[in-house]
């Protein structure tokens, strides 16, 4: 099996910081750290088996998505790796949020693909 990695898009990195900050405030640092660790474990698993994500092919920008605890990890394949585009709370209107983020997704995915070529 080849080694696969994941990259974090800027939006994903910001969202992870926000999730940790919110979780720490609500439930304390140990719970926040555990939640983030669970999200990272899921991102690593998605990198190893990206096909396990639900393909959202009907979008203008197709992407894959996997549920982890209270969030969806939204990602795309780039070469043998994946890029984590963002993380979304499962209670949000996923389609609306993605459509609002879509232009920045396109730009960042294009830049990442170019840098890996």
- The two tokens of residue 47 are 């990198």
The reply to whether 83 falls in a domain is: yes
For the cut 70, the answer to whether the pLDDT of residue 39 exceeds it is yes
Position 37 pLDDT exceeds 90: yes
pLDDT of residue 90: 81
pTM of this prediction? Answer: 0.80
Domain count, the chain: 1
> CA-to-CA distance for 99 and 61, rounded, in angstroms?
9
Name the nearest CA neighbour of 8 among 49, 53, 39: 39
Average confidence (pLDDT) over 45-61: 78
Find the mean pLDDT for residues 28-47.
96
Chain position carrying tokens 């197709």 = 62
Burial class (CB in 10 A: 0-12, 13-18, 19+), 97: middle
Six-digit token pair at 60?
A: 């203008």
Residue 1, domain member (yes or no): no
Q: 78 lies in a domain?
A: yes
Q: At 61, which CATH number?
A: 3.30.2310.20
């Amino acid at each position: 099996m080849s080694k696969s990695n994941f990259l974090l898009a800027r939006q994903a990195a910001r969202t992870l910081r926000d999730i940790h900050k919110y979780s720490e405030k609500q439930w304390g640092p140990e719970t926040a750290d555990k939640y983030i660790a669970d999200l990272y474990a899921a991102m690593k698993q998605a990198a190893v088996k990206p096909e396990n994500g639900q393909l959202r092919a009907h979008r203008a920008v197709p992407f894959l998505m996997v549920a982890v605890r209270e969030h969806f990890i939204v990602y795309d394949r780039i070469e043998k790796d994946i890029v984590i585009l963002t993380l979304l709370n499962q209670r949000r209107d996923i389609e609306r949020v993605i459509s609002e983020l879509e232009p920045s997704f396109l730009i960042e995915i294009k830049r990442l693909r170019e840098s890996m070529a």
